[in-house]
Amino acid sequence: MTLFTKFFGATAALALTAGAAAADPAIIFDLGGKFDKSFNEAAFTGATKWAEETGGTFAEFEISSDAQREQAIRRFAEEGYNPIVMAGFSWGTPLATVAEEYPDLKFSIIDMVVDAPNVQSVVFNEHEGSYLVGMLAAMASEDGTVGFIGGMDIPLIRKFACGYAQGALAVNPDATVLANMTGTTPAAWNDPVKGSELTLAQISQGADVIYAAAGGTGVGVLQTAADQGVYSIGVDSNQNYMHPGSVLTSMLKRVDTAVYDAFTAGTELEAGFNVMGLDNGGVGYALDEFNAELITADMQAAVDAASAAIAAGEISVHDYMSDETCPVLEF
Amino acid sequence: MDLLAFFDIAVLDGTVRLATPLLLACLAGLFSERAGIFDIGLEGKMLISAFLAAAVSFTSGSVWIGMFAGIFASVLLSLLHGLASITFRGNQLISGVAINFFASGITVVAAQSWFGQGGRTPSLSGDARFESIQFPGALTRIRDINKADLPMKVYSELLSGHTIIVYMCILIVPLVWWILYRTRFGLRLRAVGENPGAVDTAGISVVRMRYMAVIICGVLCGMAGAYLSTGLQAGFVREMTAGRGYIALAALIFAKWKPWSALGATLLFGYLQALAIRPDILERAIGIRVQTQVLDALPYILTVIVLAGFVGKAIPPKAGGEPYVKER
């Protein structure tokens, strides 16, 4: 055998193994890391669920800095993974570049819209889910002041805040809604100390239910609320178990469903918009054994009625991102 | 306009809490820099101590064992900095940056393999965290405190209800001042940072003095980090120092490398951080709405003003950043 055929054979073998991987889906997590107990963890849960049900395998990657984004997508695209799912609004720009270079592959992006023929953009109606937990907050509040603590000050987080305020005011038109953001840099997602301080500040302004949409910072919010004996509301994943009896509920954003659906669709993934809202179970509030005693039957009935009304289009919740303003809350 | 609003008890209470880690880190930097070793690795040392303090507290169930573990880790990093910059005469800034990167990475990796909760430690409770100390008769819940009258508010919120580290900090500034200005050790330490050649001529080991300084720096940074994860918070979260090491460094320059001024500078910076959390109070006090970002940036702006020489001169220790070479 000549040297040439040896090399040829080796290359062919490589090509075959690469071909075997081609049908596998891949997921790339955002900076919070896949065990953030929140957004990324939900994505990971969805991927794991798919793997357990189908027995398939998937590739995954956690980036550790913003600079890795384009490189990470390109690596998976180069290896032929299909579809490639990425969780997080920051993937928009790099994906727009890479998606164009690999027209045969399918991509799915969560929380951002990328206009390309091979990209599925999954967006959530967080304002609707936040509206529901806002209602619960106002009903659980004793003196009518509820708080919101956001992570980084971006339109997406304001969308949470605005929906929450609308829900609270729908139940109690005299309610006061306090809203604070942790910061304006990505460090705001991981500053539980400042989260704690903001919580104390809101409690001293009278808040007795505080909703945290702040990634790792939320850990500090939930902890301080539990220490001070007030209610808190978790976000993205179900965080009720973290401080049973203190976490009133969690605003669920079914990122896991989005990832699961994308993986299930596989290479047949449909490009375009996919809006996950109350009508298709994309958002909601968490009710389990940890908060069963906190949510009364009346509260549950009121929220479920509102949920049905929103899904049917009878109540419309203003979306901050549609016009960058909020009618009920000033930032 | 209601200038009294600036003295809101809740904001002053937050100031005390937020200034404590800054003060400890600032004094840590003071020891190191006064001995001629620049240290921008304060952030990294705080971070590794925050992690190990929380991890060991959780495992052992005792916050004191945790704090000593945190201090131990911080001192190890200090010695590494010393090895690079004193023994091997490397660049002190580069060694400091390396320590920050190392701490940022190793804490997440170690926490992940130890607890498998995504680079954080489990929540601490009971003896595994510093509980706040309640003075007799003090109210504990903010909602009760809000209804109380002013003397009770000051007593319950401002004076009572902090962790032991905060109360220890009250003693630490006079102690540092006394060590630096009233002991032989302090005189030698300052001399090593100004003119190591003279100290060497007097027969005192420059290397030994500088190692002593970085070890003290490690201990104080370790306390600051342990306070973050076991006092202010109940557990470690990745990157939880969130730039406090750099603010402490800015405070050190602002304080012109003096202990009492360091107390003033860290209280001021802590106050600005606490005020940034309460835009409503600021609005009440000056009558206009100010973006909180302005307050977040103020510590750095003030430091630049001081560095530019507008408020007296900030002169760093003369031999700062220079490795000592006995003979050329």
Report the predicted TM-score, pTM, of the whole model to 2 decimal places.
Answer: 0.83
Q: Is B204 on the interface with A (CB under 8 A)?
A: no
With an 8 Å Cβ cutoff, are B240 and A198 in contact? Answer: no
- Considering the domain architecture, whether residues A61 and A187 belong to the same structural domain is answered as no
Share of residues in chain A with pLDDT > 70 (%): 93
The reply to whether A236 falls in a domain is yes
- Considering the domain architecture, whether residues A202 and A100 belong to the same structural domain is answered as no
Nearest-CA distance B179 → chain A (Å): 32
**Which of B143, B228, B242 has its CB closest to that of A203?**
B143
The reply to whether A330 falls in a domain is no
With an 8 Å Cβ cutoff, are B242 and A197 in contact? Answer: no
CATH code of A306's domain: 3.40.50.2300
Nearest-CA distance B70 → chain A (Å): 18
Domain that holds residue A135: 127-252+296-323
Q: Answer yes or no: is pLDDT of B216 > 90.
A: yes
Whether the CA torsion A219, A35, A238, A254 is positive or negative: it is positive
Residue tagged 């070890």 (tokens): B215
Q: CA A89, A95, A97 angle in degrees (round to 5)?
A: 135
The reply to whether A232 falls in a domain is yes
Domain ranges across chain B: 20-131+138-242
With an 8 Å Cβ cutoff, are A190 and B239 in contact? Answer: yes
SS3 A36: coil
Give A14's pLDDT tier (boundaries 50, 70, 90). Answer: very low
| Eight-state DSSP code of residue A118 | T
The reply to whether A2 falls in a domain is no
Chain A residues close to B292, C-beta within 8 Å: 181
- Considering the domain architecture, whether residues A176 and A85 belong to the same structural domain is answered as no
**Which of B123, B146, B242 has its CB closest to that of A193?**
B242
d(CA B103, CA B47): 6
Domain total of chain A? 2
Residue tagged 């090509």 (tokens): A15
Q: Answer yes or no: is pLDDT of A331 > 80.
A: no
Which residues, 6 or more positions from A228, have their beta carbon under 8 angstroms from its beta carbon?
Answer: A199, A200, A203, B141, B142, B143
Nearest CA to B133 among B164, B154, B165? B164
**In this predicted model, what pLDDT tens digit does every residue of A73-109 receive, in sequence order?**
999 999 999 899 998 888 999 999 999 999 999 999 9
Chain B residues close to A209, C-beta within 8 Å: none
Q: Answer yes or no: is pLDDT of A19 > 70.
A: no
Q: Answer yes or no: is pLDDT of A3 > 60.
A: no
**In this predicted model, what pLDDT tens digit does every residue of A263-316 receive, in sequence order?**
999 888 888 889 999 988 899 999 999 999 999 999 999 999 999 999 999 999
pLDDT for position B1: 65
Q: Is B184 on the interface with A (CB under 8 A)?
A: no
The reply to whether A307 falls in a domain is yes
Asked if omega into A83 is within 30° of 0 (cis), the reply is yes
With an 8 Å Cβ cutoff, are A193 and B233 in contact? Answer: yes
Q: Is B210 on the interface with A (CB under 8 A)?
A: no
Q: Is B296 on the interface with A (CB under 8 A)?
A: yes
- Considering the domain architecture, whether residues A231 and A102 belong to the same structural domain is answered as no
Which residues, 6 or more positions from B182, have their beta carbon under 8 angstroms from its beta carbon?
Answer: none
Chain B residues close to A230, C-beta within 8 Å: 143
Q: Tell me, what amino acid is at A12?
A: A
- Considering the domain architecture, whether residues A309 and A183 belong to the same structural domain is answered as yes
Nearest-CA distance B243 → chain A (Å): 9
The reply to whether A10 falls in a domain is no
- Considering the domain architecture, whether residues A83 and A202 belong to the same structural domain is answered as no
With an 8 Å Cβ cutoff, are A193 and B293 in contact? Answer: no
- Considering the domain architecture, whether residues A67 and A151 belong to the same structural domain is answered as no
**In this predicted model, what pLDDT tens digit does every residue of A247-258 receive, in sequence order?**
999 999 999 999
Tokens in use for B244? Answer: 């406090």
* Residues across chain B: 328
- Considering the domain architecture, whether residues A25 and A154 belong to the same structural domain is answered as no
Give B122's pLDDT tier (boundaries 50, 70, 90). Answer: confident
d(CA A113, CA A120): 8
- Considering the domain architecture, whether residues A219 and A144 belong to the same structural domain is answered as yes
Q: Is B231 on the interface with A (CB under 8 A)?
A: no
Q: Are B129 and B231 in contact (CB under 8 A)?
A: yes
**In this predicted model, what pLDDT tens digit does every residue of B220-279 receive, in sequence order?**
999 999 999 999 888 898 888 888 999 999 999 989 999 999 999 999 999 988 888 888
Give A15's pLDDT tier (boundaries 50, 70, 90). Answer: very low
- Residue in chain A nearest B241 by alpha carbon: A191
- Considering the domain architecture, whether residues A37 and A72 belong to the same structural domain is answered as yes
Q: How many CB pairs under 8 A join A and B?
A: 89
- Considering the domain architecture, whether residues A211 and A92 belong to the same structural domain is answered as no
Which residues, 6 or more positions from B50, have their beta carbon under 8 angstroms from its beta carbon?
Answer: B70, B107, B225, B226, B228, B229, B236, B240, B241
d(CA A111, CA A130): 16
Task: Indicate the pairing of strand A26-29 with strand A176-183.
Answer: unpaired
- Considering the domain architecture, whether residues A131 and A195 belong to the same structural domain is answered as yes
Cα separation values, B114 from B58, B99, B121, B147, B261, Å:
11, 21, 8, 45, 41
Best residue in A197, A217, A223, A246 for a mutation probing chain B (most B CBs within 10 Å): A197
Residue tagged 């990470």 (tokens): A72
The reply to whether A272 falls in a domain is yes
Q: Is B234 on the interface with A (CB under 8 A)?
A: yes
Share of residues in chain B with pLDDT > 90 (%): 57
Chain A residues close to B235, C-beta within 8 Å: 219, 223
